[in-house]
Chains A and B, each alone.
Chain A
Amino acid sequence: MIAVELLAAQNIGFAVISLLMIVAALRVVTTSNVVHAALWLVVVLSGAAAQYVLLAAEFVAVTQVLVYIGAVMVLFLFGTMLTRARIGTERDLNNSYRLLGIPVAGLLFAAMAIAIVSSFGDEELPSEPRLIGVPEISDQIFGPYLLPFWALSFVLLAAIIGAIVLARKD
């Protein structure tokens, strides 16, 4: 009985959060104000963090909040501030061929939805999943995935140096 109530609560939570995420994502790609787009993106990213919690991935959810909502959004707002003389509504944000995007996205979604439904139609997620904690993730990162971790460290270093070199005034 408790399991059924928990499942219902999970489903209601999923429905509410995903509706919020879809509306916010649509606003990100349609709004005519760059700062508003950045703030709607915060809603999408927070919703994604909530979905990660629903998927029993607490560590990734916390990292999402720290890295995305904390750091990446500040970068976006700085980028908006530095490349834009005035902050407010603008008309010139969309391409002239933006209507082409609607059939492309629609066809892509149709293809993916058919593939997903035909492969995983009504497959339930395990109700008693094996929970994965931080120790296990760190065993993965510093065990079999150590080489990608090194590569990623170099990518981040190169990105930092490259960003400084590119954006420096000389």
Chain B
Amino acid sequence: MLISQFLLLGAILFCIGVYGVIARKNAVLVLMSIELILNSVNINLLAFALRNGSADGHTFALYIIAVAAAEVGVGLAMVLLIYRNRRSIGLDELSEMRG
């Protein structure tokens, strides 16, 4: 197996996730696209861990999974709060923070 095939798969998933973050309006779908991005990073880390024969990449991948779980928890709580206040989770309607 080539290392670049895993890196290219990670790059493709990353770009699909970036497209999702830009294109989606629904806040839950934006969070799902962020999950895609985090997973592509994990694939890269594990590919390099196998290449270098070190356990550092595994450790970082586990930490990323934990941070992603925390991020989804807080993110969905915020989405729930926004929905409760505004009856909508369209991100382009949240324009009050504009300076």
Residues of B within 8 A of A122 (CB): 2, 4
Within 8 A of A (CB), among B1-34: 1-9, 11-20, 22-29, 31-33
Task: Flag if B24 contacts A94 (CB, 8 Å).
Answer: yes
- CB A115 to nearest CB in B, in angstroms, measures 9
Q: Say whether B92 contacts A125, CB under 8 Å.
A: no
- Chain A residue nearest in CB terms to B33: A29
Within 8 Å by CB of A120, from B7, B15, B32, B57, lies B7
- Nearest chain A CB to B53's CB is how many angstroms away? 4
Q: How far is the CA of A155 from the CA of B9 in the complex (A)?
A: 30
- Across the interface, do B51 and A125 meet the contact criterion of CB distance under 8 Å? yes
Chain A residues near B26 (CB-CB < 8 A) = 34, 93
Annotate A18-52 by CB proximity to B: 1 below 8 A, 0 otherwise: 10011001101100001001100100110010011
Q: Mark B44-74, 1 if CB is under 8 A from A, else 0.
A: 0011011101111111011101111111111
Give Cα distance in the complex from A10 to B27, angstroms. Answer: 37
Residue of A nearest to B35 (CB): A41
Residue contact B61 to A60, C-beta cutoff 8 Å: yes
Chain B, interface size category, equals 35 or more
Q: Which residues of A contact B23 (CB under 8 A)?
A: 29, 94-95, 98, 101
**Once the chains bind, are A116 and B61 in contact (CB under 8 Å)?**
no
Which of A41, A124, A159 interacts with B1 by CB under 8 Å? A124
* B24/A92 in contact, CB under 8 A: no
Residues of A within 8 A of B58 (CB): 57, 59-60, 132, 137, 140
Residues of A within 8 A of B59 (CB): 137, 140-141, 145
B67 to chain A, nearest CB (A): 7
Residue numbers in B under 8 Å from A100 (CB-CB): 22
- A102 CB to nearest B CB, Å: 7
The docked-state distance in angstroms from the alpha carbon of A167 to that of B32 is 20
Contacts of B71 in A (CB 8 A): 159
Shortest distance between the CB of B82 and any CB in chain A (Å): 8
Expressed in whole angstroms, the minimum distance between the Cβ of A66 and any Cβ of chain B is: 9
A71 contacts partner chain B, Cβ-Cβ < 8 Å:
yes
Chain B residue at smallest Cβ distance from A52: B46
Q: Would you call A113 and B73 a contact (CB within 8 A)? A: no
Say yes or no for A152: interface residue by CB 8 A criterion. Answer: yes
Question: Given A29-B23, A48-B43, A105-B18, does the pair A55, B32 have CB atoms closer than 8 Å?
Answer: no
